[in-house]
Amino acid sequence: MGLFTGLATVRARLLLVVIALLGLAGGGIAFLTDNGAWAERLWSAGTLPVLAALIIEIFSALRRGQIGLDIVAGLSMSTALAFGEPLAGNVVALMYAGGQQLESFAEGRARREMTALLGRVSRTAMRYAGNLLEEVTIESLRPGDRILVRHGEVIPADGTVARGEALLDEAALTGEALPERRLTDEEVLSGSTCAGDAFDLVVAREAAESTYANIVRLVETAQQSKAPMVRMADRYAIWFLLFTVVLAGAAWGLSGDRLRALAVLVVATPCPLILAVPVAIISGMSRAAARGVLVKNGGALEALARIRTVILDKTGTLTFGRAAVTGIRTVEGWDQDEILRLAASLDQASAHVTAEALVTAAHERGLVLSSPSEAQETAGTGIEGIVEGRCQTALERDP
């Protein structure tokens, strides 16, 4: 399919929709005011631009050796005009042009979400050159390079921790809400975020061959692929076209009424299949990518409709990908809300996911938090500071 693909800009597509809509509406007004001749002229004017663009696209596809179901739509519009039924042609033109504009909108949204996916990773990195640091593009990183990864930065390339330890947020890759700790020489995957102190990373693979780059390529390929239903429609397009023409000819020949042939062509115009399926697939995959779910291709997404049984991992759990307070255990004499209030007050000074979960839980219970002072956070250990004149400590439990 691909009406107007490579033929006009999005504005031109929108213009064709407006022309078809104005032609249909103007013709309707003329018809209701007993101006039948003007009604037919306006309906024809609303059909011809869309038909012309479609014919150009059909011939372009034929030169590439491709035969699609678009030909049926072209036949129905041209036959409607030839048989003096411009209203039918205008309706088909509006459905087709409007559907293509809808698909264009879905593709644009998918591109924006893909840009956001790519935008997670910085385009530069701080690489060591002797005892100095230099800012370089991630494309220039090579295996063996040593780079500095600062707090909050997304890892640009796969590698290993050079020394010490690294605290990483891998939610974008694994869905795990709690940060993971990596020690010296342990592997670090691109796409994860430094959730602790800055650390040195030894690059193991070029950025273009890294885990995150492969994920992005997978999503791009998936969005460009066709769903099985569309591939099947394209495969049998020539037979469907021949069957439609024969059936239309038979309807005309047996009834003696040429409008029966037009009715067959209009009914056979496969707008729902050609337009709805690609829009649904593109929208579904882009929405999934925005939520961190990667779909291999349109066929995999379409197969979800047939799933009746889901097998979970060994823990048998599904998570939202974020930490939450599920329970509070206290020693005798301490109130749960008071413990939560003090801990959340101190954790307001931390960006750790566990700290954010405690603060969220306190707000959900309507607790009034105090402002902490002299807060000092140690990556991988916890945070301590002063709350209401008392020294408080919140320790991290190993994930």
Which residues participate in catalysis according to the annotation?
A: 313
Distance CA 94, CA 81 (A): 14
Distance CA 1, CA 234 (A): 8
Q: What is the DSSP string of 2-35?
A: -TTTTTS-HHHHHHHHHHHHHHHHHHHHHHHTT-
Give the helix/strand (H/E) hosting 161.
strand 159-161
Please answer whether residues 74 and 97 qualify as being in contact, where contact means their C-beta atoms are separated by less than 8 angstroms: no
CA torsion 329→334→336→339, rounded to 10°?
-100
Please answer whether residues 201 and 155 qualify as being in contact, where contact means their C-beta atoms are separated by less than 8 angstroms: yes
Please answer whether residues 207 and 213 qualify as being in contact, where contact means their C-beta atoms are separated by less than 8 angstroms: yes
Residue with tokens 């209009």: 266
Strand order in the sheet with 382-387: 373-378, 382-387, 390-395
Please answer whether residues 156 and 207 qualify as being in contact, where contact means their C-beta atoms are separated by less than 8 angstroms: yes
Read off the DSSP letter of residue 51. Answer: H
Query: Do the strands 390-395 and 382-387 form a parallel or antiparallel pair, or are they unpaired?
Result: antiparallel
Compute CA distances 290 → 109, 169, 206, whole Å.
Answer: 11, 17, 25
Cα-Cα end-to-end distance for the chain:
50
The distance of Cα 172 from the centroid of its chain, to the nearest Å, equals 14
Q: What is the three-class DSSP state of 88?
A: helix
Q: Which residues pair with 395 in a beta bridge?
A: 382
